[in-house]
Amino acid sequence: MSPTRAVQIDLTFQLALQGSFQDLALWLPVPQDTSHQWRLALECNGNHAKPALHHDPAHGAPILFVRWPGVRNDPRLTVSVRMETQEAVFDLAQASMDAPLPEDARRYLAESVHLPVEGAVRTRAEAITQGRDTPAAKLRALYDWVLTHAQRRFDVAWCGLGDVPAMLAAGEFCGKCVDINSLLVALCRAAGLPARTMLGIRAAPSRFDSALGASGDVTQALHTRAEIYLGGLGWVPADPADALKLADAGVPETLRREVDAFLLGGAEANWIAYNHARDFRLEPPAAGGPLNLFTAPYVEAAGVPLGIEAGAQGYSIVSHLAGA
């Protein structure tokens, strides 16, 4: 990996609900530490009880749990997070075929509710990777196939659901970033490559194009990419969804080709990862049961889920470069 372009980014999550609520509880995704990003500070302010930082036992997703016990009028919460991020560029040619697969990577070969590995997805993955004898070559073939066959659908809400069985049943490889990169993850797992979806947010300007990131109000700037484990390298980013997004933005073909190549093994420093949790249970447990993905606050009042998501009234996220 060749790290460059380190930056510090301040994220502010704000929740301000109007009305009276009974025993309100909130689970908020906050950025995790990875090999190329670090949480430097986390502060909470509001009219809530003492918050607690939890991690779900399956994936280690950081979860800020906040309660407003009893009856609370107009609950408020401001969470300020400072992150240091670093651009990462991996040379796939340096991947090793002989490196042992760690147990914590092996678990991302398994299927889940939204990420199948058997049946049609395995048949397709084997056909795409036929004749490729290294993990890096298989990954490149699968990435190129998704770039060629997937399409963005503008009528899909937010980032999509990443429901690969539904995509296969429909015979249409369409959607937004969660859908397209979940397709790549499922194909990789079916081909024997550990893979996972990384859910996060664009929080600073992109060095390529404004379609790939900006500062300011980033409430609706959620973005999910894929990560694939390659021996000798570790978790390598891949993002065909953003490559397709840039094509839709009408940028010059030379820039599009540059970004296409960069996004297989590269990740800008302007994107912040929340977690890679899929089909999992919150910690502490929520009455609503398992979540498909965790990119927005999950809120319950007296055990009844409330619909709080990106763009919902009373919830916003603002970002700026530290020191700017």
Q: What is the pLDDT of residues 72-127, one digit of tens each?
A: 999 999 999 999 999 999 999 999 888 888 999 999 999 998 999 999 999 999 99
Rounded Cα distance between 296 and 27, Å, is 9
Confidence class for position 65, pLDDT limits 50, 70, 90: very high
Among candidate residues 46, 78, 149, 110, the one with its CA nearest the CA of residue 278: 110
Q: What is the mean pLDDT of the chain?
A: 91
Whether the ω angle into residue 3 lies within 30 degrees of 0, i.e. cis, is no
Q: What is the pLDDT of residues 212-259, one digit of tens each?
A: 999 999 999 999 999 999 999 999 999 999 988 888 888 888 998 899
In the predicted structure, residue 48 carries a pLDDT above the cut 80: yes
In the predicted structure, residue 2 carries a pLDDT above the cut 50: no
The two tokens of residue 322 are: 């530290």
Question: Model pTM greater than 0.85?
Answer: yes
The domain locations on the chain are 4-84+280-321, 88-274
pLDDT given for residue 172 in this prediction = 79
Cβ proximity of 117 and 110 under 8 Å = yes
Cβ proximity of 176 and 154 under 8 Å = no
Cβ proximity of 89 and 56 under 8 Å = no
pLDDT given for residue 155 in this prediction = 64
Confidence class for position 307, pLDDT limits 50, 70, 90: confident
Whether the ω angle into residue 284 lies within 30 degrees of 0, i.e. cis, is yes
Give 312's DSSP letter: -
The two tokens of residue 157 are: 């809400």
Confidence class for position 175, pLDDT limits 50, 70, 90: confident
The two tokens of residue 11 are: 């994220």
In the predicted structure, residue 306 carries a pLDDT above the cut 90: no
Q: What's the CATH code, domain 4-84+280-321?
A: 2.60.40
Confidence class for position 310, pLDDT limits 50, 70, 90: low
Among candidate residues 306, 225, 296, 220, the one with its CA nearest the CA of residue 259: 225
pLDDT given for residue 311 in this prediction = 60
Q: Is the CA virtual torsion 245, 248, 250, 256 positive or negative?
A: positive
Cβ proximity of 206 and 191 under 8 Å = no
pLDDT given for residue 1 in this prediction = 46
In the predicted structure, residue 64 carries a pLDDT above the cut 90: yes
Confidence class for position 197, pLDDT limits 50, 70, 90: very high
What is the CATH architecture assignment of 88-274?
Roll (3.10)
pLDDT given for residue 98 in this prediction = 82
- Report in angstroms the alpha-carbon separations of 119 from 82, 124, 169, 209: 44, 9, 11, 39
